[in-house]
């Protein structure tokens, strides 16, 4: 994933010594995800938008369910579901992330092997649905992405809110590699391998390098379409969402990201930015 401007605090992950001993899901969680900040953001803005607390959350494209686990930890009334197609990744999440929850917390979370496009059932009525780390970019046509947004909307409570992130700036069309040292003694490499300006298709890989031994090449690969913020706003409206808000990261005096995202109508022509969107049912 593109590096957010704010340097994230990362938890240490030991032992992460070589490509042979390292676990790619653990490396991904350390390098890419920061569920506490994500849940802080989502719960704060849900309350601002609706005047109540979010209690029912669905993490679409949940992978290991890392963020859903954080949500159930936050409050005894919080319940979460995670949806993903890939059963080995879900199994890893149950073994490593859900296993760290108390038995009571484990009762309030379920990771399900489901397609996010499929109807979720009339009883769902989630307060919040999340689609983070650009996972919805797998939908490469306007029709497919609109259909996904409509499926999300149908699974939300009357005042439910869909939160998603997006990435932009002129560097996202560049074939390049971005390297970052991570806690635990490994290097994360975001490889923007191929961008096709005629289709918008973008293929990216994640590689991991270690102090010793060979790299773990192509630990993860993504075949995406590069979507822009105006296209997302239009498609969310076409799917029936009544209001979309874009949250832009604020900067400190040195021009560095602060990790605080605020509603904005206009952005800056940055080389690379990550922004959040909320879409109200």
Ligand X SMILES: C[S@@+](CC[C@H](N)C(=O)[O-])C[C@H]1O[C@@H](n2cnc3c(N)ncnc32)[C@H](O)[C@@H]1O
Question: Which residues within the stretch 123-162 sit at the binding site for ligand X (CB under 6 A)?
Answer: 132-133, 135, 138
Cβ(39)–Cβ(46) below 8 Å: no
* Buried b / exposed e along 127-148 (16+ C-beta atoms within 10 A): bbbbbbbbbbbbbbeeeebbeb
Question: Which residues within the stretch 83-102 sit at the binding site for ligand X (CB under 6 A)?
Answer: 83-86, 89
CA distance 81 to 67: 10
Cβ(210)–Cβ(19) below 8 Å: yes
Task: Determine, following the binding rule CB under 6 A, whether residue 43 of this chain makes contact with ligand X.
Answer: no
Helix, strand, coil percentages, rounded to 5, for the chain: 30, 35, 35
- Give min distance, CB of 217 to ligand X, in A: 18
Which residue in 63, 160, 168, 257 binds ligand X (CB under 6 A)?
A: 63
**Residue written as tokens 């240490």?**
12
Residue among 116, 80, 109, 114 at smallest CA distance from 94: 109
Which residue, 97 or 245, has its beta carbon nearer to ligand X? 97
- Give min distance, CB of 281 to ligand X, in A: 20
CA distance 127 to 148: 17
Which residue in 6, 10, 33, 278 binds ligand X (CB under 6 A)?
A: 33
Which residue, 17 or 205, has its beta carbon nearer to ligand X? 205
Which residue, 3 or 18, has its beta carbon nearer to ligand X? 3
Using the rule CB under 6 A, give the single segment among 2-10, 70-78, 82-90, 193-201 that binds ligand X. 82-90
Task: Determine, following the binding rule CB under 6 A, whether residue 184 of this chain makes contact with ligand X.
Answer: no
Binding residues (CB under 6 A) for ligand X: these are 32-33, 61-63, 83-86, 89, 115-117, 132-133, 135, 138
């Amino acid at each position: 994933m593109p590096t957010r401007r704010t340097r994230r605090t990362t938890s240490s992950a030991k032992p992460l010594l070589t490509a042979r001993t390292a676990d790619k899901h653990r490396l991904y969680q350390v390098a890419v995800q920061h569920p506490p900040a994500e849940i802080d953001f989502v719960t704060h803005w849900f309350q601002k938008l609706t005047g109540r607390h979010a209690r029912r959350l669905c993490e679409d494209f949940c992978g290991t369910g890392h963020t859903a686990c954080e949500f159930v930890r936050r409050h005894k009334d919080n319940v979460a579901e995670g949806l993903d197609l890939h059963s080995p990744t879900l199994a890893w999440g149950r073994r490593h992330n859900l296993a760290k929850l108390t038995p009571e917390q484990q009762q309030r979370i379920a990771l399900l092997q489901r397609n996010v496009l499929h109807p979720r059932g009339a009883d769902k009525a989630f307060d919040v649905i999340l689609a983070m780390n650009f996972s919805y970019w797998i939908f490469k046509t306007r029709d497919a992405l609109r259909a996904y947004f409509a499926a999300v909307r149908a699974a939300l409570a009357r005042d439910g809110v869909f939160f998603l992130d997006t990435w932009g700036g002129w560097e996202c069309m560049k074939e390049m590699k971005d390297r970052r040292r991570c806690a635990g003694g490994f290097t994360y490499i975001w490889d923007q391998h191929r961008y096709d300006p005629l289709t918008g298709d973008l293929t990216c890989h994640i590689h991991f390098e270690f102090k010793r031994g060979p790299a773990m090449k192509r630990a993860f690969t993504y075949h995406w379409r590069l979507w822009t913020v105006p296209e997302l706003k239009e498609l969310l409206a076409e799917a029936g969402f009544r209001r979309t808000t874009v949250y832009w990261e604020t900067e400190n005096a040195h021009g560095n990201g602060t990790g605080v995202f605020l509603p904005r109508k206009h952005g800056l022509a940055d080389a690379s930015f990550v922004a959040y969107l909320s879409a109200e049912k």
